A and B are shown apart, each in its own frame.
Chain A
Amino acid sequence: MTPTMNGTPLHARNVTLSSRLRAGAFACGLCASFAASLAWADPDDYVSTPAVEYGERELELRYGTATDPGGSRRDAGSIAFGYGATPWWFTEVYAKFQRAGGGSTHYDAVEWENKFQLTEPGEYPVDMGLLVEIEAPHDRAEGYELKLGPLFQKDFGLVQVNANAFLAHHVRSSEPGATDLSYQWQAKYRWREALEFGAQGFGEVGKWDNWDPAHEQKHIAGPALFGKVGVGGRQVINWNAGLLFKLSNAAPDRTFRAQLEVEF
């Protein structure tokens, strides 16, 4: 008798998972062959999670402000529309804005983000996904940025831990560079649906194959809050915010970041 899972022959299910994993490995290998420099991540960056919700529609707002080591302030924000196109693919388009020092807010870039859920939550010891982003900056001299990397999540009872790593490079940039390696993580205690608390961290180590000296790397971390509120019918507001402090000399002294998602 052919072993099955949920009515699907087991070998067919394994083919689907293996196909997703092979596609992810190929995409990562392709990215590692390119080269460019990566500026410090925008202060409104957020930690991605690997799960996709099929049919989800959301409007997202993000904001972040960072005080650089020299004392200057940098603000960033974005607005996005996202859609769970399939049970394993979520796609989102962002319009990004920035303001540096005492300058005015200006349009910075448009970004297309795609998240692929590679494993069913809880099926394996670690949940896994893949993030692929393409950014087209307003300043064409920066070149197009391609960023991709794996997403990991594991639950320890009511504690959820996420850890992600990314490779990023620029194409058609006016300046040559290298492929840079960055990471992000978060750990939260899922106390109540309306309020969860924990910590987040972000960092960049420089070139993926030749890390910068420790004093040039950028690492930040700090406390974070999370929550979800139903506002009627299927409409839900997800929010999270973090206050992050420098863990290395080259990192911003302080970064406040917040994210608001309205699902409808």
Chain B
Amino acid sequence: MLLAVVLLSGVANAAATEPEFALVVRDHRFVPDEIVIPAGTRVRIVVENQDTTPEEFDSHALNREKMIVGRSKATIYIGPLSSGRYEFIGEFNAATARGVVIVK
């Protein structure tokens, strides 16, 4: 455990270098509803919920669940991923909040 603390402390002090992508939740929809990212690369998706109600980014393909409170932002890290399509939904409004990460 102490070794893990030391290792992660060192990593935490390193500057962030992942590519960043923006995703907006507006009127219970994701904008854009497609994000294209490079294969084999860890990326950072900053999700801004512009609605007043919470939304949950949910993707089995990406193995990610993240609550974003209304009028706030959250960061989701994904990858490195192999080429393909990875779907995600907004669990609170699954009928309309749908999107896909396309990895090329």
Contacts and interface: CB of A to CB of B under 8 A. Distances in A.
State yes or no: do A and B come from one complex. yes
Interface of A: 3, 5-7, 10, 14, 17-18, 21-22, 24-25, 28-29, 51, 53-56, 84, 87, 118-125, 128, 149-150, 152, 155, 157, 160, 165, 190, 192-193, 228, 234
Contact of A155 (B5, B54, B63, B82): B63
Nearest to A11: B13
B2 A7 contact: no
A56 B91 CA distance: 12
Interface of B: 1-2, 4-5, 8-9, 11-13, 15-16, 42, 44, 46, 54, 56, 60, 63-65, 67, 69, 73-79, 82, 91-92
Could you tell me the dominant secondary structure of chain B's interface residues? Answer: mixed
Given A28-B1, A121-B63, 18 more contacts: A6-B73, A6-B75, A10-B16, A21-B8, A24-B1, A25-B2, A29-B2, A54-B69, A120-B75, A122-B42, A122-B78, A122-B79, A125-B11, A152-B4, A155-B63, A160-B63, A234-B91, A234-B92
A128 B4 contact: yes
B82 to A, nearest CB: 7
A208 to B, nearest CB: 11
A22 B5 contact: yes
A121 B77 contact: yes
A172 B74 CA distance: 44
B1 A54 contact: no
Given A25-B1, A122-B42, A53 B65 contact: yes
A18 B75 CA distance: 18
A18 B9 contact: yes
Contact of A123 (B4, B77, B92): B77
Contacts of A152: 4
B34 to A, nearest CB: 20
Nearest to A25: B5
B92 A122 contact: no
A124 B5 contact: no
A9 to B, nearest CB: 11
